[in-house]
Amino acid sequence: MNKEALDKAAQDERDIVNRYRALLRSMEGKADNKDKKMVREAFNLAMDAHKNVRRKSGEPYVLHPIEVAIIVSKEIGLGPTSIAAALLHDVVEDSDYTLDDIERMFGEKVSRIIDGLTKISGVFDQNVSVQAENFRKMLLTIADDIRVILIKLADRLHNMRTMSSMPAHKQLKIASETLFIFAPLSHRLGLYNIKTELEDLSLKYTEPEVYRDIALKLKASKAGEIKYLKRFSSRLRDSLKKENISFTLKERTKSIFSIRRKMVNQGISFEEVYDKFAVRIIIDSTPANEKSDCWKVYSIVTDHYRPSPERLRDWISAPKSNGYESLHTTVMGPEGHWVEVQIRSSRMDEIAEKGYAAHWLYKEDKSATDNLDLWLNRVRDMLENSDQNAIDFIDNFKLNLFSAEIFIFTPQGDMRILPKGSTPLDFAFEIHTEIGAHTLGAKVNGKLVTLSHKLNSGDQVEIITSEKQHPKEDWLNFVITSKAKSRIKQSLKDESNVIIGKGRQVLERKLNFIKMRANDSTVQRMVNYFNLKNPNELFYKVGMGIIDNKHIKEFAKDNSGGLYNYLKNRFVKTQYAKESDKATAKKSKVPLKAGDARILVFGNEEEKLDYKLAKCCHPIPGDPVFGFLTSNEGIKVHRNNCSNAVALQSRYANRTLKATWVKADHADFLVNIIIKGIDTVGLVNKVTQIISNDLSVNIRAINISGDDGIFEGNLTLLVTDKLHLLRVIEQLKKVEGVTSVQRKTGN
């Protein structure tokens, strides 16, 4: 071994020892000698299992499980059992060690966690994209032991932190699935710091230019912002000290992802985001006094700065279902800047930082652990009562368990937590299945409302029931919770089965009456004759009276010639179907445009394939893009930051293709841009002159409307590539009165 290799080996050893010592330091105060011995043995086993293995970045692989264990210990706050499991999380999958070996050396608890981690490794593996069925399996594991998912979130966080050495198309897929599932999941479990970092890191790879632009602007304004926040805080510090309140005050700017989300949702520029500043006041208080102390601090804050009434969030009186407690207000600071102020106790802050893991430090906090059990029960309920396909299941899971929440009260004053957008029917099924099934009407705050009425937080709901009432098919349009949907579907299915049974008997009786055999062959011929999907649909329609005596006699008449006529009719229908299929295929064949036949290639082999540019985001040369294989329109090309990209990359990763722009002949591409500003005389003329005359750009459509001195315009232009578009945007920004020009990201 040469000197360079020896030096590298020595440096690797120093790095491993240093990070292992950092892990031990993170455990101080929560591990006895027996625990430390277990962690040491887990470290030794990980060293042996991963010896001579390196990550794509070139560093020793064993550094990865050590870093995951540090996150588990320091950032999530789990104990020695979880730390040992984190060190061993890849051992069974990547080496000859078995689960039996793990159980023999570390006991049943560690072995069970490793088993769960190994079962769902395909879901989180950084080289494999999330697949819907695997996600369902992962949820089963969550419901069994919450530590499994907490360790896997730590694993995902470290992979995201060290993803720079991976190929760009893999970075995009992993970042997309992180945004789609894992950031919301960490938020749902109360891990706000991890959620924020996952979001920012995901944005870094899904929209690198946007991320870089916001990061540079934040960096450029950082010194001024720190100075401003110090000035803002100094008055609060003095007043809090005068009141003898023991506190810690932290100043910060909002995350890159949250700023970007506000820019997109409100259609504004970075400069127009008015509440980039945030201050957190953490008070030392006993559980008995913390609520009143927090409101006392709120009173001090609003003595100095005027609050926005619409921006008060009281999660102390009504904590979020993941246990989050805090008092939020947004106040007007000096120089006309809005500042968000968060007020909480040290106990609340610990829970906000470390989620449910922190609840185990506060044994008296029974409500928080009850909320966790309630959430896990909802997960189990969804799993047990789901007959949806996997993709729909994921969508419903995200909607029901990751969405914003509202707090609804029963007539007796009991509170229920529901997803935002819920209706009285959702509430009824949340109270009890039987109440939901027999819902006749509902009163909200004493007034009769429709079953499709959208509930708001704080509403008091009374459900009116009747034994004669039963679920109807249109109820599925009135509910959003998985519990309500599954119960309604099950009820309709049960009712349908009764009608199918009745229809089968009626059909047999009617066929016998007209001297036709009621056998499988006749039933199948009737299914084909009436263009139905299967025999059950036939029986259902007979049972409902949709197919009656008249229809059955027509069938008998058309089939009176026996098998010959039946085959003849079927042949004609089959031929028609084939011709129809040919027409559809011809119609769906991807047309190649004159200028774009060779401007994109796909995959690592850079194959030349037919494709279409997606209309939802109108990609142009220079945009980071990917190909998506549709079911009937061939390959559609989307921009990486398309509004549909995250869902496509995470839900259908196996149908996405790496796409690369190549040199092509001159071609024009459609783009949509939004222009805003102060309405001035001759503005439209100035805009069209710059676009058409100065830049020689073809305008396909222009729509500019003004109101109270403010205008907003939508322009559809033809440009050659991204550089061309950027030149257009820069020139338009120079027009007097124009305050922002942005490319439209969606439809």
**What's the confidence (pLDDT) of residue 46?**
93
pLDDT per position as a tens digit, 320-339? 766 788 999 999 988 888 88
| 133 is a catalytic site residue | no
3.40.630.30, 1.20.1090.10, 3.40.50.300, 3.30.460.10: CATH of 209-362: 3.30.460.10
pLDDT per position as a tens digit, 396-448? 555 555 556 777 888 887 778 788 889 999 999 989 889 999 999 999 988 88
Question: Rounded CA gap, 625 and 604, in Å?
Answer: 14
Out of 41, 93, 314, 537, which one is annotated catalytic?
93
pLDDT per position as a tens digit, 89-112? 999 888 889 989 999 999 988 988
Q: Mean per-residue pLDDT for 168-181?
A: 85
**CATH 1.10.3210.10 placement within the chain:** 10-204
CATH number of 669-743: 3.30.70.260
Q: What is 10-204's CATH topology?
A: Hypothetical protein af1432 (1.10.3210)
Please list, in sequence order, all residues whose beta carbon lies within 8 angstroms of the beta carbon of residue 233, skipping any fewer than 6 positions away: 249, 251, 279
Q: What is the dihedral of CA 181, 182, 184, 189, to 10 degrees?
A: 130
Structure tokens at 480: 């959003």
Instruction: Please determine, for residue 394, whether its predicted confidence score (pLDDT) is greater than 60.
Output: no
Q: Beta 338-345 vs 327-332: how paired, if at all?
A: antiparallel
Closest by CA position to 153, among listed 181, 132, 128: 181
404 half-sphere exposure, CB direction, 13 A CA radius: 6
Out of 13, 94, 303, 494, which one is annotated catalytic?
94
Strand ranges for 167-287 from DSSP E: 247-253, 277-283
pLDDT band at residue 517, thresholds of 50, 70 and 90?
A: confident
- Within 71-207, residue ranges assigned H as helices are 80-87, 91-94, 99-106, 108-119, 121-124, 132-144, 146-161, 168-177, 183-188, 192-206
| 93 is a catalytic site residue | yes
**What's the confidence (pLDDT) of residue 598?**
52
**CATH 3.30.70.260 placement within the chain:** 669-743
pLDDT per position as a tens digit, 250-297? 888 788 999 998 888 888 888 777 777 789 999 999 988 999 999 999
**CATH 3.30.460.10 placement within the chain:** 209-362
Structure tokens at 212: 């870089």
Q: Residue 661 phi/psi, 5° resolution?
A: -75, 140
pLDDT band at residue 309, thresholds of 50, 70 and 90?
A: confident
